[in-house]
Amino acid sequence: MNGGAVSAARDAILSAVRQAVAGGGTPEPVRREYRRQGTRSRAERVARFCERAGDYRATVRRVARTELAAVINELAPGRIGIPPGLDEGWRPADAVEDQGLTPEELDALDGVLTGCTLAIAETGTLILSGGPGEGRRALTLVPDLHVCIVRSDQIVETVPEAFDELRRGGSYARPLTFVSGPSATSDIELKRVEGVHGPRRLAILIVEDEDAVAKAG
């Protein structure tokens, strides 16, 4: 389509909108009566997150720091992609650091291992913001398996709390990816298909102290 025609159409639409709202009063302030602060303890937030993430068919495991390396090697064998800034203690033996891997090279990986910025207990959601331990978006969308490490102190209770934390931490201005379970969609017959828009498998490792893991059973 001609670029000038697109601009003309846009201008016509905006003009119609301006005419429609001309003379209107000041809109009422947005009502924010929804719950903004959580009340659960850290242990309760972790339990809630595990429950909700499990509902989305993610594999969720609570592990002690001393167990983390062994669990990573168990869940993510083979050639595992990692972001350049991933914690040294989290890196699998055969890790492939993403230094601009092509889509074909990413697709050939057996999986990817990253950290996250935050997690939301009420929705079972991971938030990635492209930080050093999370990597670029393509790294977490192309491989078939995504293993994500979440520290228990990164789990907030509500969505508003998550956005408040993102603003305070400076992540709000970066591209954000919200992950609630493996990638999934449904066709017109409501048949669930996984792996269309991202990883077909999602494993979440929640890192806690040994006492908390023991109490969780």
DSSP classification of residue 83: -
pLDDT at 54: 94
What would the two tokens of residue 76 be? 């993510």
pLDDT at 186: 77
pLDDT at 23: 73
The CATH classification number of 41-216 equals: 3.40.50.10420
Residues 49/148, Cβ–Cβ less than 8 Å: no
Instruction: Say how far apart CA 114 and CA 128 lie, in whole Å.
Output: 9
pLDDT at 189: 78
Residues 6+ apart with CB under 8 A from 67: 213
What would the two tokens of residue 191 be? 């048949």
Tell me the domain boundaries of the chain. 41-216
pLDDT at 159: 95
For residue 32, the SS3 value is coil
Per-residue pLDDT of the chain in tens (217 residues, 90 and over written 9): 456 677 889 999 999 888 888 877 777 888 888 888 889 999 999 999 999 999 999 999 999 999 999 999 898 889 999 999 999 989 988 899 999 999 999 999 999 999 999 999 999 999 999 999 999 999 999 999 999 999 999 999 999 999 999 999 887 778 899 999 888 787 777 787 777 778 899 999 999 876 566 566 6
Instruction: Say how far apart CA 16 and CA 13 lie, in whole Å.
Output: 5
- Following DSSP, what letter does each residue of 34-69 receive, concatenated? S--S----HHHHHHHHHHHHHHTT-EEEEEEGGGHH
pLDDT at 110: 95
Distance from chain centroid for Cα 26: 37
Write the CA distances from 67 to 28, 54, 72, 92, integer angstroms: 53, 21, 9, 13
Taking residue 173's Cβ as centre, other Cβ atoms within 10 Å add up to 9
Q: Give alpha helix (H) positions in the chain.
A: 3-21, 42-55, 68-75, 103-107, 137-141, 159-169, 210-216
**Torsion (CA) 7, 10, 15, 17 in degrees, nearest 10:** -170
Report phi then psi at 92, rounded to 5.
Answer: -65, 165
